[in-house]
Amino acid sequence: MPELPEVEITARRLDRALTGAQIESALAPGINALKTFDPPLSVLAGQKITGVGRRGKQFVVRVDGPTDPLVLLIHLMSAGRLQLYDKRAGPRDRTSRLLVRFDDGRELRLREFGSKQAAWVKLLRAEELDEDPALATLGPEAWPDPPADLREILNAPRPLHTLLRDQRTIAGIGRSWVDEILWEARLSPYKRGADLDAAESSTLREAIVTTLAIPDKLPMPLRVHRHEGEPCPRCGTTLESVHFESYVIAYCPVCQTDGRTLKDRRLSRLLK
């Protein structure tokens, strides 16, 4: 599941590679991932890419457009990938959801793997971008400059693990990086947002900024998420986990929960 660091790095790479590239054609083959119909994808033919960026976990591909500037808004969801190829996909590639072909032969491809078909694309007029529901509901960006006092956005009687993954509360964090952030801040995944004091809030902010910090090419390696059963990188205690239907929380019981181990059933009720 790509989260803010992975999307940011891909967006930077695509921005360098594609700015100025001229589109020959764009199509959304097979299962239609395209969620808009006006303007149609066909207007992209002959237009130039003016930049690639990110909002939350979504890509924003800017195109000059025949009259007004346009934007492709792309969400990979859990199993999508956005990649640039030197050659075009063959007609049998069933993973393709969007193909943007350039006049130099390259192809930007949104592909999706696995059984779910959830990744989506919208072609919008640039002026409509901020009003699109996918962006209008986003909370402040988690990186590089989250709100100075996180208590302003986390002041709710919900566990931090849930709040930090809620894109309406703060944009960009998902089930992988939330474990890293809470471990870095030495906070329990089920501490209530409303219970954060000033010091914890500032530690959490620092942990978000440093954990999501993005080197040039690859995000930092995950050290806690999916590392249950291994020693805590800080104190050596075995990392514990709590399993849910669609995700797993990993944490250090010494660094984060005062030595307590979380029971799956109890926590699943708490997190509702």
Minimum CB separation of residue 254 from Zn ion in Å reads: 5
CB of 212 to Zn ion, least distance (A): 20
Question: Helices 198-211 and 177-184 sit at what angle, rounded to 10 degrees?
Answer: 130
- Residue 234 binds Zn ion (CB under 5 A): yes
Asked whether the beta carbons of 62 and 69 are under 8 A apart, the reply is: yes
Nearer to Zn ion, 81 or 226 (CB): 226
How far, in whole angstroms, is CA 102 from its chain's centroid? Answer: 26
Kindly state the smallest distance separating residue 238's Cβ from Zn ion, in Å.
9
* Residues touching Zn ion, count (CB under 5 A): 7
Which residues inside 159-198 make contact with Zn ion, applying CB under 5 A?
none
Structure tokens at 153: 């956005």
Instruction: Decide: is 150 part of the binding site for Zn ion (CB under 5 A).
Output: no
Q: Which two tokens stand for residue 265?
A: 């059933």
Q: How far is the CB of 234 from Zn ion (least distance, A)?
A: 5
Q: Which of 130, 235, 244, 260 binds Zn ion (CB under 5 A)?
A: 235
Dist CA 63 CA 53 (whole Å): 12
Q: Which stretch binds Zn ion (CB under 5 A): 91-99, 120-128, 173-181, 227-235?
A: 227-235
Does 239 bind Zn ion (CB under 5 A)? Our answer is no
Look at residues 57, 89, 52 and name the one whose alpha carbon lies nearest to residue 72.
Answer: 52
Within 8 A by CB and 6+ apart from 120, the residues are 33, 34, 35, 74, 75, 77
Name the minimum Å distance from CB 161 to Zn ion: 17
Q: Using the minimum distance from each CB to Zn ion, give the nearer residue, 88 or 234.
A: 234
Closest to Zn ion by CB, 201 or 257: 257
Q: Are 164 and 190 in contact (CB under 8 A)?
A: no
Number of residue whose CB is nearest Zn ion: 232
Least Å from the CB of residue 206 to Zn ion: 18
Task: Report the b/e string of 128-167 with b at 16+ CB within 10 A.
Answer: ebeebebbeebbebbbeebbeebbebbbeebbbbbbbbbb
Q: What Cα–Cα distance (Å) separates residue 244 from each residue in 53, 167, 241, 248?
A: 32, 19, 10, 6
| DSSP 8-state code for residue 10 | H
Separation of alpha carbons 95 and 92, rounded Å: 9
* Minimal distance, residue 237 CB to Zn ion, in Å: 5
- Of 96 and 257, the one with the shorter C-beta distance to Zn ion is 257
The reply to whether 252 sits near Zn ion by the rule CB under 5 A is yes
Residue 255 found at the interface with Zn ion (CB under 5 A): yes
Query: Does residue 232 bind Zn ion (CB under 5 A)?
Result: yes
**What's the rounded Cα separation, in Å, for the pair 79 and 34?**
16
Which CB sits closer to Zn ion, 170 or 232?
232
Work out whether 14 is an interface residue with Zn ion (CB under 5 A): no
- Any bridge partners for residue 125, and if so which? 70
| Identity of the residue, 132 or 228, whose beta carbon is nearer to Zn ion in the bound complex | 228
Q: How far is the CB of 222 from Zn ion (least distance, A)?
A: 15
Task: Work out the angle at residue 245's Cα, subtended by the Cα atoms of residues 242 and 250, and round it to the nearest 5 degrees.
Answer: 25
Binding stretches for Zn ion (CB under 5 A)? 232, 234-235, 237, 252, 254-255
